[in-house]
Chain A
Amino acid sequence: NAGVMQNPRHLVRRRGQEARLRCSPMKGHSHVYWYRQLPEEGLKFMVYLQKENIIDESGMPKERFSAEFPKEGPSILRIQQVVRGDSAAYFCASSPNGQLYEQYFGPGTRLTVT
């Protein structure tokens, strides 16, 4: 059973460009969470999605950030008009139905904004 997949692993964007981060959950998992990790910091919750639904986006900045988890395909975290402060590691986690507390993390996407 493959783990959570994220791509790209590393992403470099110039200020003002768009960043698209993709996450494929573990097989059979339909719950996806996105977290952001700044250097020397713990992970901070951003958004929780189920297929075609955003359940909780309380940790997501209100501007420039959006997330989706379509019926088919990976979950996408989209950052428009990136700024230097968006540089961080972005992790996706997934959990199975009935065991939402067990979250399994992907390897992360390290975004660098130049």
Chain B
Amino acid sequence: QQQVKQSPQSLIVQKGGISIINCAYENTAFDYFPWYQQFPGKGPALLIAIRPDVSEKKEGRFTISFNKSAKQFSLHIMDSQPGDSATYFCAALTQGGSEKLVFGKGMKLTVNP
């Protein structure tokens, strides 16, 4: 059972465009939602995260939008740059338990110059 579903699987955007990655979750006990960025051959790097009591969080060019009633959240990358080309994973966890992250399958982003 996949608890976090991520879409699309891949995305190609032009430099300067907006990249949008969507995730949906099933477990209402999740209370922390991070996004990770992974470059080929590297480990995932924590990019930005949100809690369900907040509908939006912005850090630089990265914004998370959160819809608790729909159990969905999304990552927006504004002014996308070629250096943003990577695989992006959404994840979720339940605090107070074992804090194990449940990951989506990832989305490969390509930003063309």
| Residues in chain A within 8 A of chain B (CB atoms) | 4, 6, 31, 33, 35, 40-45, 48, 55-56, 58-59, 91, 93, 95, 100-108
| Shortest Cβ distance from B44 into A: residue | A105
Chain B: number of interface residues, binned into ranges: 20 to 34
Q: How far is the CB of B26 from chain A (nearest CB, A)?
A: 15
Of B36, B41, B46, B100, the residue contacting A59 (CB under 8 A) is B100
What are the 9 tightest A-B residue pairs by CB atom distance, in nearest-first order?
Answer: A56-B98, A42-B103, A105-B43, A100-B99, A45-B100, A101-B32, A42-B105, A43-B103, A107-B43
Known interface pairs A42-B89, A105-B44, A108-B43; A100-B102 also in contact (CB < 8 Å): no
- Interchain CA distance A2-B62 in the complex, whole Å: 26
Of A4, A31, A43, A58, the residue contacting B101 (CB under 8 A) is A43
| Residues in chain B within 8 A of chain A (CB atoms) | 4, 6, 32, 34, 36, 41-46, 49, 89, 93, 95, 97-106
**A91 & B100 in contact (Cβ 8 Å cutoff):** no
**B93 & A41 in contact (Cβ 8 Å cutoff):** no
| Shortest Cβ distance from A100 into B: residue | B99
